[in-house]
Structure 1
Amino acid sequence: MDTTPVIVEAVRTTSGKGKPGGALSDRHAADLLADVLTELVNRSGVDPGAVDDVIAGCVTQGGEQAGNIARSAVLAAGFPEHVPGTTVDRQCGSSQQAVHFAAQGIAAGAYDVVIAGGVELMSRTPMFSQYGDHDPYGPRVAARYSPGLIQQGLSAELLAREYGFSRLELDEFAAESHRRAALTWEQGGFARETISPGGGRGDETVRAGTTVEKLATLPPAFADPSVLQRFGALDWKVTAGNSSPYTDGASGILLMSRSAAERFGLRPRARFLGYAVVGDDPVRMLRGIVPATKKVLDRARLAVSDIDSFEVNEAFAVVPMLWARELKVDHDRLNPRGGAIALGHPLGASGTRLMTTLLHELEDSGKTLGLQTMCEAGGTANATVIERL
């Protein structure tokens, strides 16, 4: 029996603006994830009763997204009641971690068929709303990183200063993200990987007319004079335009053992060459992608030069920019279809959104090796290498 985990199907919803009135904002998160589950089994022809588990990422597990949304989505999709579901939270990398857990479970012989995915409706369950008035970190964390941890936008400002990126460079990167995403839609590149539950056409977050000049008019989004004593002078370069927008969306990957794929008569589309997760400085939390990338390449016995296409989540423009500088990667191989600045960042769904886009990019370009990595709040980061088959 061959327990090598393989990807046989991948799909994502188009992105909706994560605010009231957005294209997906009238949907319940469980129903949106259910749309993805249904699409995966319909496309593959797999009996949903054969799914051993559904592992879904979701970050803001409160309100409508509480109560183990993976299991709720299984039931909403009409899957048999014996199909279980579990929800994981590794912040922005939650669904990428779901893929790791699913693939590792298959390799261990614990599963034959698993769906890994994620969902976030930021329009209906706002970021941080699960905390209420409570401190999620506690006094010991505050004492260790006195006077406490900071929000990601401020971390982006710190890194922009430390790496010497100008406001113009950040805006240029953001404009290019929108240009690439708009061009991919225009050329039909996203057609196979997407469904549009909201009835819209394309990702609502993509702004084809974005220019550096327009981005230059936006004010800083995270300016906070109260931090100057702690960190010194900051130029406040990070704006809504060079950051990922609040987004609604869901995505999913259907994984199987090679033996199960053969039994179902399905063609494996990709296999995994390496997985990694690391911890890093939780204040400068966005740069964990650098050691994560080095770790996964080492485990896969590959070099940066071996990889054909990279997906690095654009939580903020500074993130892929510092990553590319540290690893000496040219921008032609980095987020060739645009990234989260244009395509959106529906927190719990972003990991499998990146993997879905990466798989289709490899297939459409005829290339072989892809690597994706995600920065995550608290200073962790995931990285994965896949090989198109």
Structure 2
Amino acid sequence: MRDVVIVEAVRTPLAKRKGAFSEVRADELLALPLKEIINRTKIDAREIEDVIVGCVSQVGEQAADVGRAAALIAGYPIEVPGVTIDRQCGSSQQAVHFAAQAIASGDMEVVVAAGVEHMTRVPMFSNMQGVSYSEKLSDQYEMLHQGVSAERMVEKWELSKSELDQFALSSHRKAIQAWKEGRFDREVMPIEYTTPDGHLISLTKDEGPREDTTLEALQSLKTVFKEDGTITAGNASQMSDGAAAILLMSREKAEQLGLKPRCRILARSVVGSDPTLMLTGPIPATEKVLQKANLTMKDMDVYEVNEAFAPVPLIWAKEVGADLSKLNPNGGAIALGHPLGASGARLMVTMLHELERTNQRYGLQAICEGFGMANATIIERIE
């Protein structure tokens, strides 16, 4: 197997639902980072052999293979194909895996992995309207909303609401500090976009982090999924709009093109887990990817674990023996936002830049996914 390297990784700022990107089409939003990786590397787009895009709600502006549409909007040659995949919240992390597998096997040399979700213009579950679960599925498994699953996890692992709210507060504080210190400056492309009616949209930073939030404010929020529960809008991920793109190559191709490999994809895993208690998948996915890499949690310098709900990374950390000081050091989806199909790529972009900022070696990423699944990835920074 050949070394698979990342040579460029960029994301848009994440806008709040009904925020700055409300007037930007989903396919046009995705086209922006697709174009930016070409601008930054100066490669000929004809070198790209596929564009693999993660997107969950594939309806409306995200239907009809949004990956192909966005590549054409971005100005890629017609010979560059595009495909759109759905592995729920890990969709664009899976896009990275598929890209890496194509390159490692020798089938391709240059692939773009990307993700998009516009939760304002294409609301969550809009692709499920009028559709119910098959009785042949629901007879076997109790099919729940993820928020209810999160409540059950809280009960099983005996977490308190105070622990969840404290974690949520820390997510906001870390994200705010990261922006103040310029940690996101390189990974986030500023957006200036003129809508068809001539309205200029400008966004240079994530809209989600709340500088004025307090523990008291978080504790005062009503629970959403259970009257006497623990999950609130404050300790769950924010709905948001965003996109990200990653340019992967074989190490040999990168060197041939005169591009600096920034990290290599060291190991990948994907697992199925309990479809009812569906948010526990990152635990076995982490165990599996560490085994494949022949590494331990102590070897990892940074972890990016998606903050779908506060109990997910907290329980993950307890079960795998993680050092909380290494977890989501620049905040996570509770503060930054969770544009479903884009989050896998967003976490990867952030993790790579954090390893570079701190001159560290190994990063581990994991995301829980609907129906009980999870992806995990280990990358190694290249000096």
Amino acid at match of 1:13: T
- Aligned counterparts of 2:323 and 2:109: Cα–Cα separation in 1: 38
**Is the partner of 1:190 in helix, strand or coil?**
coil
User: How does the TM-score come out when normalised to structure 1?
Assistant: 0.94
Amino acid at match of 2:270: V
Deviations along 1:225-274, whole A, 9 cap, x unmatched?
xxxxxxxxxx3100000000111000011000111101110010000111
Equivalent residue number for residue 182 of structure 1: 176
Equivalent residue number for residue 17 of structure 2: 18
Among 130, 139, 151, the residue aligned to 1:143 = 139
Deviations along 1:71-130, whole A, 9 cap, x unmatched?
000110011111100000000000000000000000111111110010000000001111
Aligned pairs, how many? 373
- Aligned counterparts of 1:121 and 1:70: Cα–Cα separation in 2: 14
Q: CA deviation at 1:282?
A: 0.6
Amino acid at match of 2:6: I
| 1:30-45 aligned within 5 A | 30-45=27-42
Amino acid at match of 1:12: R
Equivalent residue number for residue 328 of structure 1: 321
- Aligned counterparts of 1:91 and 1:247: Cα–Cα separation in 2: 15
- Aligned counterparts of 1:5 and 1:306: Cα–Cα separation in 2: 20
Equivalent residue number for residue 55 of structure 1: 52
Q: CA deviation at 1:385?
A: 0.2
Equivalent residue number for residue 219 of structure 1: 222
| 1:189-228 aligned within 5 A | 189-197=183-191, 198-223=201-226
Q: CA deviation at 1:4?
A: 1.8
Runs of 4+ in 1 over 2 A off after TM superposition: none
Among 95, 99, 102, the residue aligned to 1:102 = 99
- Aligned counterparts of 1:211 and 1:110: Cα–Cα separation in 2: 51
- Greater shift after overlay, 340-349 or 323-332? 323-332
Equivalent residue number for residue 119 of structure 1: 116
- Aligned counterparts of 2:91 and 2:246: Cα–Cα separation in 1: 13
Gaps of 5+ in 1: 225-234
- Aligned counterparts of 1:326 and 1:7: Cα–Cα separation in 2: 30
- Aligned counterparts of 1:263 and 1:29: Cα–Cα separation in 2: 34
- Aligned counterparts of 1:317 and 1:210: Cα–Cα separation in 2: 16
Equivalent residue number for residue 360 of structure 1: 353
Whether contact under 8 Å (2:189, 2:204) holds in the other structure is no
Q: CA deviation at 1:210?
A: 1.7
- Greater shift after overlay, 326-335 or 367-376? 326-335
**Is the partner of 1:116 in helix, strand or coil?**
strand
**Is the partner of 2:246 in helix, strand or coil?**
strand
- Aligned counterparts of 1:352 and 1:131: Cα–Cα separation in 2: 24
Among 86, 110, 115, the residue aligned to 2:83 = 86
Amino acid at match of 2:213: T
Query: What is the identity percentage for the equivalent residue pairs of Structure 1 and Structure 2?
Result: 53
Equivalent residue number for residue 3 of structure 2: 4
- Aligned counterparts of 1:298 and 1:209: Cα–Cα separation in 2: 42
- Aligned counterparts of 2:203 and 2:33: Cα–Cα separation in 1: 16
Amino acid at match of 1:331: L
Q: CA deviation at 1:3?
A: 3.6
Deviations along 1:303-359, whole A, 9 cap, x unmatched?
111100100000000000000111121211000010110111000000010000000
RMSD: 1.0
Gaps of 5+ in 2: 192-200
- Is 1:166 matched up with 2:163? no
Deviations along 1:25-74, whole A, 9 cap, x unmatched?
11111111110110001101111111100000000001111000000001
Among 130, 135, 140, the residue aligned to 1:133 = 130
Among 147, 155, 161, the residue aligned to 2:149 = 155
Amino acid at match of 1:167: K
